[in-house]
Chains A and B, each alone.
Chain A
């Protein structure tokens, strides 16, 4: 049986610079994480991105991904946060 989707939300906030999306997506593809949706805005030089990803086939645990993204964020000077989707679903959908 095919595994159910394990959706998570990745938010990236910080000063805009070249290659933020590329670096985040490279990290995700290295770990077999599929990107379902990306939306992104830039307000006053500030980069604000939200990605919906599916981690069901990921080759590492949620915690490692979360930590890895956080470290990647520190390297490129933005804040990256990874949360399971349910918290948003529960809060905003009846």
Chain B
């Protein structure tokens, strides 16, 4: 949980929920670094894709960085994170090694799934990251199952199940909502509403576009959050987490956000105007937003240069690792299909 800092670093007030989401300058800086890492990482991934080093599907998280980073700042060890295929940001926020993530994108032996999963399928039990799932909506049931395991074990853990606005129209999401509330499971549903399910806008696909209300018929509380503001995400995340961890059941957070790139690398995004994208980039960018907060807290552009350089170094190193790590040995073809030992 957030440590309380003295007020001089920030104008933020602690939220009223009793969970202290208050952040100081050091944490603002960390958020900045984590968000910048995701952005630079994704830009480099896009570049590697263009060079043919990454194949298949590759869904970039650019524009949505505040969500994964803000939510991560609330979770604690033993909690789980699970999401769909737009997953690189969550992995990095969870603390997975950028080199292993990038090497998985290039399908190399050094990748976190030994090159056998790719962009959409990475996992790291150590950091509580449970994937990385390619079937839209499936991760919501799985994430609710992680919460069921927490309740069963009584370990106090919370499961964070992410989905997009597209996944939020899948039937199994509501089956999961029903059981989660029925059994008061410790799960926070994070709907990343980036306005487009692939090429279909929410207005064209959702009869109720206010996704935070989607839990009403299951009595699950929900709130709409500015997903471009990492502090707003953190505060809402704290309220939701408190609710779930204290045994009151699931909570829905609708994060209003925007993806800057196409749905995947092969999507030219003709379904929206350049003006619309530019408008978001210039007025709502989550990294610009935190820079403003940092400035108010007395952090100068010069102060950030060190962070920028560090991020650049990490990403360059990840890209280099992903380029040079060998392809998986052919002997890996038949490994990891079954586990041998009976328990």
| Mutual binders A and B | no
